[in-house]
Amino acid sequence: MQPDTFADLYPLFSAASPETLDWLLSVATYHDYPANRAVVMEDAWGNAVYFIEAGWVKVRRQIDDNFVTLAVLGKGDFFGEMAILDESPRSTDVVAMTAVKLISISAQRFIQTLFKDPQLHHRLLQLMVQRLRQSNLRFQLRHQPPAVKLANTLTALQEAYGQPVEDGVELFDIPAQDLADLSDITIDETAKILIKLDEKGWIIRDVSRSSLIFRNTKQLAHLAGRL
C-alpha cells in the first residue's frame, strides 16, 4: 500500500507526516480473518493496534452468559489502542462479522510513532474524544423511545460508513441483535421498527448485496433528533 492511499483510507493518519507513513508501512503486518473469528480476546494483553482495510468487526463484552455488542467498526477504522495506551489487558472481544482484512502495528512501534509525530498524537486524541462523545450520546438517549434510539444508531453508522449508490446510501446489513445492543433496545423492538422503516421506504434491505439501502437519510436523521 502506498503512503497516500494509507492516509486516505485511515482518518487517523490524515495529518501524519510522510516520514511517519513510510515508517508505519515498513513495520505493518497484514492479516486475513474469516467471518465469526475472534481477532482479539478480552483479558488478553494488548500487543498491537489494528486497522480495518476491508470488512466489518464488532466489539463485544460478555455479561453473565451473554455477549453484548458495544460497537460495530468498518473500513478505515481502528481498534486496540486503549489496551496499549494504559498497558492493561483488553476489556472487550473483537470478532469478525464478515471476512476482514486488517493491518496491525505492534504496541511498541505505535507508541514510538506517537512520540515522534505530535500531529498523529493529537489526531488520535481527537478520534478518541469522538468515541467518548458517541458513548455519552447513547447515555443521554436512555429514556428516549426505541425508534429514536435505533434511528440514532442507524444514522451514526450511515454517516460513518455509508457509501453513495444509485438508489441511496449503502451500509452493511448489520444483524438485528447487534443493532438492538447498540441502541439499548430489545431485538423485537428492533425488528418492528425496521419493518416500519421499510414500509415508509426510508430503508430497504437488499439481500443480494447483504446491505441496507438508506433512501431517506434526512427523515431518519430528523427522527433521531439530529436535525
pTM for the structure as a whole: 0.91
Check residues 42 and 56 and name the one with the higher pLDDT: 56
CATH class of the domain at 144-223? mainly alpha
The string of pLDDT tens digits covering residues 190-206 is: 999 999 999 999 999 98
Contact 120, 16 (CB under 8 A): yes
Give residue 43's pLDDT band: very low, low, confident or very high (50, 70, 90). Answer: low
**Band (207; pLDDT cuts 50, 70, 90):** confident
User: What is the DSSP code (8-state) at residue 91?
Assistant: S
Which class is 3-139 in CATH? mainly beta
Phi–psi pair at 2, nearest 5 degrees: -80, 150
* Domain segments of the chain as ranges: 3-139, 144-223
Arithmetic mean of pLDDT, 104-112: 92
Same fold, 3-139 and 144-223: no
Sheet of 100-106, strands arranged across: 29-33, 100-106, 48-54, 78-79
Which set of grid coordinates corresponds to residue 183?
Answer: 441502541
Which pLDDT score is estimated for 44?
Answer: 73
